[in-house]
Amino acid sequence: MGILRPVARVTDVPEGCGIAVDVEGMRIALFNVDGEFKALGATCSQHGAPLASGVLHEGRLQCPWHGVSFDVERGICAAFPTTTSATTYTVRVEGDTILVEV
């Protein structure tokens, strides 16, 4: 089990949006999916796309470079369904602070 690190405030990530944060030398994309916060590695391992710039649609993230959708819960890209394309992280909210486990 990792350590929870504060990364943002709830108001920093509007519903349906994502931001990139740095945590202990790692770049992580943080998303607000229908009021639930999800975190995954900020860069697609297949194409190097900046995932925080993607668009959330119906709970899925559309890659900003190749348009294929990502499952933000599991880090799996629809184009490569047998491979994890982005590391996922556990997220917890305490008060108005978003914490990510690293």
CATH classification of the domain holding 42: 2.102.10.10
Range of the domain at 85: 4-101
Q: Is the pLDDT of residue 50 over 90?
A: yes
Helices (H) and strands (E) in the chain, counts: 0, 11
Number of domains in the chain: 1
Q: How far is CA 24 from CA 3, 6, 7, 21, 59, in A?
A: 11, 11, 10, 10, 27
Task: Please write the tens of the pLDDT for every residue from 51-93.
Answer: 999 999 887 899 888 888 889 998 888 888 888 888 999 999 9
